[in-house]
Amino acid sequence: MSSPLALITGAASGIGLAAARRMAGEGWRLLLCDIDAAGLERAAAELGAEAVPLDISDVPAVREAAARLLERHGSVEAVVVCAGISGHGLPFEKVDEAAFDAMLGTHLKGHFFLLQAFAPAMAAAGGGAMVLVSSLFALRGSPNMPHYTAAKGALLGLGRALAVELGPRNIRVNVVAPGLIRTPMTEKSAGYDKDFFTRRETVIPLRRLATPEDVAASIAFLASPAAASLTGQCLSPSGGEAFT
């Protein structure tokens, strides 16, 4: 029996790469997607995975890539949605249409149609798992990033809707909503000075930021048979910050 196959978006760095490493270590075969072609090639070479260069916000490209992969592989056992962009440091009044469209296109629209493309084959193969990476901010809000918060909130809602609709087809859909994670993307975000992460730790009950590896553990669990009875759930690896 061959190892299960998972597709992961945003797999060149950060949470997506950590999830890929964790799942590879647990025996998954991987299809890795990212807009960062160089980073993607490095990740694929490291993990012995298939690299799929992809701009998730380009819906025609998403559909073409999905069709190509389905023709080659038949189906996948899991789809993990990690790709995203940062929206920190932009107050409500400063969000223009271009910024709004980029945020919703990357986090929500492209992933919506990616999941739509894979669902029929997954159901025909007997089921599988979808894991959507949202954010702590979808649970409690945050200032100066309303379009990011809206997009991540929409992912949370999408996950719960799909859990109900796809459950009868044995497709489990769950959401991971991490708190602030120190990744290359967040380190470059506007408004995060060099001491920001240290200050943030003081308000987290566990007094530390979760790591990409912490989030990857939640993703791998939800994708695995160990979570066979879980769907429509939201795990928040945030050091307890989701509950304060």
Given CA atoms 184, 193, 57, 145 in this order, what sign does their dihedral have?
Answer: positive
| 196 has pLDDT over 80 | no
The mean-pLDDT minimum among 69-73, 170-174, 204-208 falls in 204-208
What is the Cα–Cα distance from 149 to 167, expressed in whole angstroms? 27
Q: Within a 13 Å sphere around the CA of 9, how many CA atoms are in the beta-carbon half?
A: 28
The mean-pLDDT minimum among 105-109, 117-121, 143-147, 149-153 falls in 143-147
Task: Give the strands of the sheet with 5-9, arranged side by side.
Answer: 50-53, 29-34, 5-9, 78-81, 128-133, 171-176, 234-235
| 134 has pLDDT over 70 | yes
Q: How confident is the model over 45-55, as a mean pLDDT?
A: 98
Q: How confident is the model over 68-72, as a mean pLDDT?
A: 98
| 185 has pLDDT over 80 | no
What confidence score (pLDDT) does residue 193 get? 63
- Percent of the chain past pLDDT 70, that is, above it, reads 93
What confidence score (pLDDT) does residue 191 get? 56
Q: How confident is the model over 24-35, as a mean pLDDT?
A: 98
pLDDT band at residue 200 under the 50/70/90 scheme = confident
What confidence score (pLDDT) does residue 234 get? 97
Q: How far is CA 168 from the centre of its chain?
A: 23
Average of per-residue pLDDT values in the chain: 92
What confidence score (pLDDT) does residue 201 get? 78
> Which residues belong to the active site?
148
Higher pLDDT, 141 or 183: 141
pTM over 0.85: yes
